[in-house]
Amino acid sequence: MATFLAFLGGISLLLIAMSEGAGIANFFDLPAVMIVFGGTAAALFISFPLKHVMKVAGVVVQIFKKDIENPGWIIGLMVQFSVKARRQSLMALDADTKKVKNRFIKLGLEMVIDGYQAPLIRDVLETEVDFLQIRHRKGEHVMKTAGKLAPAFGLTGTVIGLVQMLLSLAAASAAGASTTASLAKGMAVALMTTFYGVLLSNLFFVPIAEKLKNRTDDEVLATQIIIEGILMLQAGVNPRIMEKKLNSFLPPDQRVSHYDEIVRQQKAKGQTV
């Protein structure tokens, strides 16, 4: 929601500023739109496979629709698994693998239950994280490339406009007509493509690329918490110590305390921890 409101606010402020001067209608130029938007899109499809560009479009939509969850829920789940494993056994977690939707947690639990050694579990999960980052960086790279291309095509449009303006001035001068009004109008149209390119890059492509980068970093942090939690679960670490260790990944205002509540619930059911 914050992303959507910021984007909407930026566009609104620009439109208000434009309307206070020459008027919004004077900032629309179809040839400039064709050069900047069309040129940027064509260059992207030349640079990247079609499926990569289309996937990025879906990811961008998700940025406006879905926030990254606080990874505190992972800590609570890991502590819950640890309490259950100490009260029963690691094999008792087999039923939980069918309920967990997160594929990293599911994969880690399955390897723990199957008796894999800690180094192998870490290696498999860290390999998953590495390729997760590679997949996510593709979307970020597409947006960053678009952020570079849009101003370049804006400059290209400006050069085209200046050439056309100079040719018109030469023709007007040869005919003995006044060139002052033609010069001012031609310069305004020539600069329109630069305006479109800079606006598209700095209000959309570059911020979206940074947003994708931040989301990747947040997801990698969540997977690191999962990896450490799975390894401590396999090693039989005390749930309270596990909670403290996993909380160290988070800033103080995001840290959670689930162990005491889980113990209270277990005792209320007459179960020992």
Per-residue pLDDT tens digits for 144-180: 999 999 999 999 988 888 887 777 777 777 776 666 6
Q: In which element (H, E) is residue 54 found?
A: helix 50-65
Residues 242, 79: contact at Cβ < 8 Å? yes
- pLDDT tens digit string along 182-214? 676 667 777 888 989 999 999 889 999 998 888
Determine the Cα–Cα distance for residues 100 and 224; give it in Å rounded to an integer.
17
Q: Judge contact between 31 and 114, C-beta under 8 A.
A: no
The mean pLDDT of the chain is 84
* pLDDT value for 257: 84
The pLDDT assigned to 228 comes to: 93
**Dihedral angle sign, alpha carbons of residues 108, 109, 112, 116:** negative
Find out whether 63 and 241 touch, Cβ atoms under 8 Å: no
Q: Percent of the chain scored above 90 by pLDDT?
A: 28
In a 10 Å sphere around its CB, with 0-12 CB exposed, 13-18 middle and 19+ buried, how is residue 127 labelled? exposed
Q: What pLDDT does 266 receive?
A: 65
With residues binned 3-state (H G I as helix, E B as strand, rest as coil), the percentages for the chain, rounded to 5, are 85, 0, 15
